[in-house]
């Protein structure tokens, strides 16, 4: 049974109200707004065991209608990898040891290896995606635990592309990376859907971030924002569907959360802007995907 989240995952407040309520592929998905800090999070939501089972069996099928990599999926992953590598290139020196959490078919690992000559390692829980990456000669583990058992650690760059929104305790998770896996001068590369442009309150998204709340989550976890961008690549030329952030390890965790205000109004304005752009410039707004696209068209 899904569990209710009684405390905001960012500030710990117990005060929240319903922000969005919808059906997603037969599942009722309710997102709440923390009235103290402005974070939007799903509650009730699946327990960790339910999530585990969901990721193992349902996830790829629900989203793509198949459990292995498909043309649409690979197209999106390649586009994301291009965009991420370009962002890294203009922001930081080449990484020596790179870890991609949620490595999927390993495309970002290959891109970083090729571009910067880095040693690359991935973590991917999905069996078919991991097998696909391993067949291409990449070192990809099933979980962080499995990677630790193999004594693999010490990264100066860790990426989580479209992963943080799936993590039940984002602050705890980012702290764990900082304390156990990143070097003192290490960087974190994060990409998440943007609450103010991305429409999918998906069943697997535990948190929906804005630039403000992503920054707060990073600072509470002991990082400082180094560079941050909103963009739509590879799905749109003009909608800021995603937020990409580079954060640097800091010695101290920020104590107090700086609250975000007017979250509902900002969401409404963002989605209205999206509808207007779609209407006025349809071909710019959505970049076509390879056919057949399969499954749902979550952005
Ligand atoms: Zn809060």
pLDDT tens digits, residue range 206-249? 999 999 999 999 999 999 999 999 999 999 999 999 999 999 99
pLDDT of residue 75: 87
Q: Quote the ligand 1 centre to 259 CA distance (angstroms).
A: 8
Q: Quote the ligand 1 centre to 213 CA distance (angstroms).
A: 9
Q: Quote the ligand 1 centre to 269 CA distance (angstroms).
A: 22
C-alpha span between 220 and 113 (Å, rounded): 31
Q: Quote the ligand 1 centre to 41 CA distance (angstroms).
A: 9
Averaged confidence pLDDT in the chain: 91
Phi/psi for 26 (5° steps) reads 85, -10
pLDDT of residue 190: 98
pTM: 0.93
Report the pLDDT averaged over residues 56-81. 71
Q: Spell out the residues 6+ positions from residue 90 whose beta carbon is closer than 8 angstroms to its own.
A: none
Q: Which letter does DSSP use for residue 207 in this model?
A: E
Instruction: Please check the confidence at residue 69 and state whether its pLDDT lies above 80.
Output: no
**Contact (Cβ atoms closer than 8 angstroms) between residue 196 and residue 242:** no
Q: Quote the ligand 1 centre to 151 CA distance (angstroms).
A: 36
Q: Catalogue all structural domains in the chain, each as residue range(s) with its CATH number.
A: 67-285 (3.40.50.150)
Q: Quote the ligand 1 centre to 37 CA distance (angstroms).
A: 4
pLDDT tens digits, residue range 106-155? 999 999 999 999 999 999 988 888 999 999 999 999 999 999 999 999 99
Structure tokens that stand for 41 in this block = 């999070």
Q: Which letter does DSSP use for residue 187 in this model?
A: E
C-alpha span between 273 and 246 (Å, rounded): 27
C-alpha span between 299 and 290 (Å, rounded): 14
């Amino acid at each position: 049974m899904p569990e209710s989240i009684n405390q905001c995952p960012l500030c710990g407040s117990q005060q929240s109200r319903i922000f969005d309520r919808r059906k997603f592929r037969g599942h009722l998905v309710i997102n709440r707004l923390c009235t103290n800090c402005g974070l939007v999070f799903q509650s009730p939501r699946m327990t960790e065991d339910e999530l585990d089972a969901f990721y193992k069996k349902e996830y790829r099928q629900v989203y793509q209608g198949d459990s292995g990599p498909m043309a649409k999926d690979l197209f999106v992953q390649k586009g994301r990898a291009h965009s991420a590598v370009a962002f890294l290139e203009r922001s930081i020196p080449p990484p020596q040891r790179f870890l991609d959490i949620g490595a999927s078919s390993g495309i970002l690992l290959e891109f970083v290896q090729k571009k910067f000559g880095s040693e690359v390692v991935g973590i991917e829980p999905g069996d078919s995606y991991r097998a696909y990456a391993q067949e291409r000669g990449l070192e990809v583990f099933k979980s962080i635990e499995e990677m630790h058992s193999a004594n693999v650690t010490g990264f100066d760059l860790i990426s989580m592309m479209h992963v943080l929104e799936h993590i039940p305790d984002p602050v705890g998770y980012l702290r764990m990376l900082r304390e156990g896996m990143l070097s003192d001068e290490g960087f974190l590369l994060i990409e998440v859907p943007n609450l103010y442009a991305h429409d999918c309150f998906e069943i697997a998204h535990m948190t929906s971030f804005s630039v403000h709340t992503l920054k707060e989550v990073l600072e509470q976890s002991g990082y400082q924002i180094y560079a941050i961008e909103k963009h739509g690549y590879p799905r749109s030329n003009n909608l800021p569907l995603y937020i990409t952030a580079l954060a640097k390890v800091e010695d101290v965790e920020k104590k107090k959360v700086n609250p975000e205000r007017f979250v509902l109004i900002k969401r409404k304005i963002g989605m209205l802007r999206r509808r207007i752009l779609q209407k006025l410039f349809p071909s710019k707004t959505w970049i076509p995907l390879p056919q057949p696209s399969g499954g749902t068209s979550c952005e």
